[in-house]
Amino acid sequence: MIQKKRHYWCNNCGIPILREICLNCGEIGQKINTNIKPVFKEEYEVYKNIAINTPTINVRFFPKILYRDRNRLISDGSNGKTHFRFRVRKNVSDTKDSFLDPGEFDLYIKEVVQNKRSRIKQFYLDDNDYFKTLINGNLQYLKEIEEEAINFIKKISKKYSRYYQICSFSGGKDSTVTANLVKRAIGDIPIVFSDTGIEYPETIEYVKKYGNVFGNLLYLDSETDFMKMCKKLGPPSRTMRWCCFTNKGAPFSKYYAKLNHKHVLSFDGIRSEESNLRADYPREMDNTKFEKQYSTYPILNWTTLEVWLYIIWKRLPFNKLYRHGFSRIGCWACPNNTKFDWFLFSKVHPNMVKEWFSLINNYKNQQIETMKKDKDFGKKISEYDLSWVEDGAWKSRRVKYHNEENLLRLDSPCGKHDFELELKHNVKESLIEFFKVFGNVSKTKLPTGKSMYRIIHDDLVISLIENSNLIKFYIHDEKKTGKLKRLIFRQINKSYNCVNCGACVGSCPQGAIAINPHFKIDEKKCVNCLICTGIKYLALSCIALHYKESRILIKLKYT
């Protein structure tokens, strides 16, 4: 785990400094948090307008807000200390659809430091004089972290010179800095942006306008309709982020499948400060979503303040949503967004917020209707009150499975190697595609007019008749019986529950899996390695099996 950095505040210059000594005046600073972000004029105006309507705040001496640390505001007169705190509330009314009015997001500001007048001249953060003081006080420190990151990129690029090299680009501040460092280190390479379909309009505008500044922009469109997928899988939550696979990962998977390279080296703008999970990331690692990708993180140990000072120093173009107060730029429907993110979003795009909350409310009502069939309805329904939508409880939801048993019989009529599997539902034609991972498929016309399919592998023979509910399989090696039965059942379950999300495309190193428009296996590419049936890249090797609430399953221990 990377040792946590410390930052400081120079009281003499009124600036944050990356190390203990200010390079402007030589003064030793006092400790501050590392994830402070700049407050630009657009965000400042929001706070000032709220302060005007807050009786406890003397608007006459309302200071310039320079930085924000989560819900704490640091002004030019607070010597690096929290001057104001704010919180976001969502007014709950008796009106059923009250949450559909984005105007009901309210921001409350409370003054903490009673310091009416500034010691230094009052500047907006955007003022060039303040920028000059800010950068000069940190210039040598910025040069050091830039040089280290560039040397790392050069070393990694040379180490994996046989890999196809790209820079993953999200349109956020971290990927912007990473892309700039990569360009300075190794020149122009593909700058790959995956449009999830739920990007902020400003992000799309920024990527299309500035993506080619950092390299050769490659724009990947998502073929998955997020809103329609929400109706199949329910809205994503912090513990059920299926959208990362279906809407962000799937376009990358399809892109990688078309590349004539076995391995891809990706430079990503991930930082350890962003979450507890990422705090333990190594600086280079196999990607957990894509078989082909090896990921490296040039700014893994950079802090939020370092990222912003680098952007200001290099005068890099950045997503204008940051000027409105956004701390992170991802998908607008992300369950990791805070109430403050929703407050800002409601100010910028109220109709989009209204549409999203409407979908969540409809999902809640569907859950209530389902629960009415349960004898414990009264106890369970309490969790779906109005606050479930308004207060963001939906972001913590967990899947509630409603499973239908699909197995009628499983016998071994001819010993330990032969098996007959009788299902409740007739075999879907799509099952043949899922069985192709085991071996080549042969088709024989029967006197009845139906077709019989046989899948033959070194360890396995599977036979089934179309529009039948009977599957027979023979396993040669008794030692492999448990594993192969488990995989056969898993592929059957996947075929009955597939939502054609495309998340599994990236699990095939040969690029044999495609959604066109349904799940397909290219037998010419498939080498029957069975990696796609494993759980390394997807839980249960399938988004639908893991996240879909109404499932048709063979519920045995082997699944």
On whether the CB atoms of residues 343 and 47 are closer than 8 A, the answer is no
Res. 269 pLDDT band, cuts 50 70 90: very high
Say if residue 302's pLDDT is above 80: yes
**Residue 224, SS3 per DSSP:** coil
- Asked if the model's pLDDT at residue 416 lies above 80, the reply is no
Q: How confident is the model at residue 325 (pLDDT cuts 50, 70, 90)?
A: very high
Alpha-carbon distance of 497 to 108, in angstroms, equals 46
Whether 233 has a pLDDT exceeding 90, the answer reads yes
> Is 502 in a helix, a strand, or coil?
coil
pLDDT over 80 at 413, yes or no: no
- Report pLDDT digits (tens) over 67-121: 999 999 998 878 888 999 998 876 544 444 444 454 556 788 888 876 555 444 5
Confidence (pLDDT) at 117: 53
Query: Is 90 exceeded by the pLDDT of residue 21?
Result: yes
Lowest mean pLDDT among 83-97, 263-277, 284-298: 83-97
Structure tokens at 122: 């009052």
pLDDT score, position 10: 95
- Give the DSSP per-residue string, 33-85: -S--EE--HHHHHHHHHHHHT-TTS-GGGPPPEEEEETTEEEETTTTTS--EE
Q: For residue 450, what pLDDT band results from cuts at 50, 70 and 90?
A: confident
What share of the chain has pLDDT > 90, as a percent?
A: 54
The pLDDT score that the predictor gives to residue 304 is: 96
How confident is the model over 383-403, as a mean pLDDT? Answer: 80
Q: Per residue in 125-175, pLDDT tens?
A: 778 888 999 999 999 999 999 999 999 999 999 999 999 999 999 999 999
Residue 376: predicted pLDDT: 60
Query: Average pLDDT of the chain?
Result: 87
Which SS3 state, helix, strand or coil, does residue 520 take? strand
Q: Tell me if 435 sits within 8 A of 493, measured CB to CB.
A: no
**518 against 61, higher pLDDT:** 518
